[in-house]
Amino acid sequence: MSKNFYEILGVSKDASDAEIKKAYRKMAHKYHPDKDGGDEAKFKEVNEAYQTLSDSTKRAQYDQFGQTFNGATGGSGTSGGGFGGFDFSNFQQGAGGQGFEFNFGGGGAEDIFSEMFGGGRRGGRRGRDIQVDIEIDFSEVIKGTIKEISVYKSVECSHCNGTGGEPGAKEETCKTCGGSGHVQKTMQTILGTIAQQVVCDDCGGKGKTFDKKCSKCKGAGQYKEEVRESIDIPAGINDGQSIAIAGKGEVGQGGAPAGDLIVTVHIKPDSRFVRDGYDIRTTSHISFAQAALGDKIDIETVDGMVKMKIPAGTQSGEIYKIRGKGIPKLRGIGRGDHLVEVIVDVPTKLSRKEKKLIEQLKDLQ
C-alpha cells in the first residue's frame, strides 16, 4: 500500500517547509532507536517522508505521482532498500570494513541530527530545553491565570556578555579548531559510524579564545542561576497540556539561540465539577414532589449560583443544559455548557398522611 508521507509526519498537504522540518524534528526525537522507547521502523518511515517532502523538486514529483516516485533517489518505481529514504550513494565503508561513514552532504537531515546529538555545523550549540510542571486550580481554567515560577538554568554571563573573556582581555584564534568553531567528530550509532562537524569545546563555537578568562564564569560565557518567569496560562487549557515558551530555556553557546521553556499544566480536581471536554457536569437532587410538579432550583456553576427550571414530570437521570456556563474554548470563541443530571430522591419512609396522599394519587391514575 502506498504510504502517505504527509500523514506520517502529521502535517497537511499545504504545510510549509518550516512546519515539515518542525514535525520531522519532533518525530525523529520520539522514534530514534538510540532513545528509550525508540522505534526503528517508525524512524525509517519518518526519515523517508522527510527526505522527500523537504526537497521542493522531490515533493512536487511526489504530489504528482505519489510513492511511485522514489523520493530518496529521485527515480521512478517503488521506494526500495536503504534506510528510511536516505541516499546511500554517499556512504563509505569505514577502515577495515568496520561500519560505515555517513556523508550527508550538508543541510536537511544533517542539521537535525546535529541538534539531536548536540553538534551543529553552523554557529554554536543551541541551548537545552527546560521542562517544568505547574498546578492550577479548576477555577483558573475558566478565566486563565498568570503563574510566577522559579527556573534554575544557564544564563549568559553578565560580566563578559557571554564572550568568556575578562573585559579588556586579548582575543586569540582558537588553537583547537583553527578559528572555525567546529571540529570533526565520529559517533557510533545504530546506523554505523557517523562523521560530523561538532562545536569546538575549547571556544564554544566562537572560534576565538582569550588570554584571560572571565573571572565570573571562568571562560564558559554562562553560569547557572535562578530566574523568575511569568507563565501566561490561557483559559480553557486541558489537563496535561504543555505550553512552549521560545527562548526561555538555557542559553545557547557561540551565539546559538536559547532553548525553550516547556510548561506542562496540571489541573487540580474540583469536588463540585467534572470536566467533559468544554462542558461541565454536575448532579442535583430533587424531591419526588419537585419532579412531579416542576420547580426552579439553585445550581452552582463556575460563575456562581443560577436558577434552573425543572419541568413537571421530570424523571430521575434526565440531563438539563445551562448554556454558556462551561469551559472557555481554547483559542476559540464562546464556552461549553453546564450539564446537570437530575436525581429524583424517592422517600424510603413515609408518614401516615404521606402514604394516604400517595394512595389517593394512585386511585386517580
User: Can you list the domains of the chain with their CATH numbers?
Assistant: 1-90 (1.10.287.110), 274-364 (2.60.260.20)
Task: Answer yes or no: is pLDDT of 171 > 70.
Answer: yes
pLDDT at 93 over 50: no
Give just the sign of the alpha carbon dihedral 20, 25, 27, 33: positive
Task: Name the β-bridge partners of 193.
Answer: 101, 188
Average pLDDT over residues 182-205: 76
Is the pLDDT reported for residue 205 higher than 80?
Answer: no
Cα 335 to Cα 342: distance, rounded to the nearest angstrom: 22
- pLDDT-derived band at 186 (thresholds 50, 70, 90) equals confident
Residue 143 · residue 169 · CB < 8 Å: no
Question: Cα(244)–Cα(68) distance, rounded to whole angstroms?
Answer: 38
pLDDT at 284 over 80: yes
Q: Is the pLDDT of residue 112 over 60?
A: no
pTM exceeds 0.75 for this model: no
- Give the residue with greater pLDDT, 84 vs 271: 271
Q: Which residues contact 128 (CB under 8 A, 6 or more apart)?
A: 154, 249, 250, 259
**Would you give the distance in Å from CA 328 to the centre of its chain?**
21
d(CA 22, CA 53): 12
Q: What is the pLDDT confidence band of residue 3, given thresholds at 50, 70 and 90?
A: confident
Round to the nearest angstrom and report the end-to-end CA distance of the chain.
67
Q: Is the pLDDT of residue 168 over 70?
A: yes
Helix (H) or strand (E) holding 162: none
| Residues 121, 103 contacting (CB under 8 angstroms) | no
Compute the distance between CA of residue 56 and CA of residue 48 in angstroms, rounded to an integer. 15
Render pLDDT for 310-360 as a digit per residue (tens, 0 to 9): 999 999 999 999 999 999 998 778 999 999 999 999 888 878 887 787 777
Residue 40: is its pLDDT beyond 60? Answer: yes
Average pLDDT over residues 282-294: 93
Q: What DSSP element (H or E) covers 102? A: strand 100-102
* DSSP-derived 3-state class of residue 90: helix
- What's the helix, strand, coil split of the chain in %, to 5? 25, 30, 45
Q: What is the CA radius of gyration of the chain?
A: 31
Kindly report the average pLDDT of the chain as a whole number. Answer: 81
Question: pLDDT per residue over 118-155, tens digit each?
Answer: 444 445 678 899 999 999 999 999 999 999 999 999 99
Summarised one tens digit per residue, pLDDT across range 228-265 is 999 999 999 999 999 999 999 999 877 788 999 999 99
User: Cell numbers at residue 267, please?
Assistant: 489541573
226 or 105, higher pLDDT: 226
Where do the H-state alpha helices sit in the chain? 5-9, 17-31, 40-53, 56-65, 109-117, 138-143, 288-293, 352-364
The residue with cell 517547509 is 17
Per-residue pLDDT at 89: 37
